[in-house]
Amino acid sequence: MSIPSEIVDVLRKFHGYALCIKGDPGTGKTAFVLTILRELCRDGNGVYVSTRLEAEKLYSMFPWAREAIPPGGVIDAANSPRMESPNLADHIIYRTMPEFLGALYAKVSQLKDPVVAIDSWDAVVQTAKESASMSLDGMMIEFASETGSRILLVTETRDQKPLDYMVDGIVELGLVDDRRDVYRYLQIRKLRGSGHDLRKYVLEITSEGLEVKGFLYE
């Protein structure tokens, strides 16, 4: 299987659902959210907001991602124009969270059943953190609820944060070294509206995408 079915099922069932994807660098977070988009976005309803990769670089690293999101669905949110990204229609420049959410709403409002991945949420918050008195995490959760979007928020740490209490689900990705080999793993830590196993799945990233290979230490 590509990813645990309960994750896909709960995102199909509930609009306005917010899922946090946590993990250290190199654990497969980008591949994971792109896999979710490939599963859920067969009608061009996916948006991938990247603070690191513009569309062509994303496709060169993850060729199969074109199945999930066409070039118009990749939004460059690096907050400064890139020389290799001349299409500024797909670029967000912002200094405040309302500016960011306004630009995102302009894109999402055109889609039916939108699914939005923000990779990474940490980078967006770092840019906009001095812009509002209310919680920036709370503003994003409210955006998901009001627009009916399924939101995937990628964060670069497994540390517990206030965001953990606000989101509907948490998926943690990490590495395990058992002295014989090093494994990537995926663990569902929280998933409102669905039962789920707490055991860790073995995770593999292949040229065709991300796959789960049963439970760790079965």
Mind listing the pLDDT tens digit for each residue in 170-213? 999 999 987 778 889 999 999 999 999 999 999 998 888 888 88
- Give the per-residue pLDDT at 72: 83
- Give the per-residue pLDDT at 83: 47
**Residue 182 exposure: Cα atoms within 13 Å on the Cβ side:** 4
| Residue 23: strand pairing partners | 173
The residues of the chain scoring below 70 in pLDDT are 1, 79-89, 130-134, 218
Radius of gyration of the chain (CA): 17
Domain 15-172 has CATH 3.40.50.300: yes
- Give the per-residue pLDDT at 31: 93
Sheet arrangement for strand 201-206: 74-76, 46-50, 115-119, 150-155, 18-23, 169-177, 182-191, 201-206, 209-215
- Give the per-residue pLDDT at 100: 92
- Give the per-residue pLDDT at 130: 61
| Residue 184: strand pairing partners | 175, 203
Please tell me the distance from the alpha carbon of residue 140 to that of residue 114, in angstroms, as a whole number.
Answer: 15
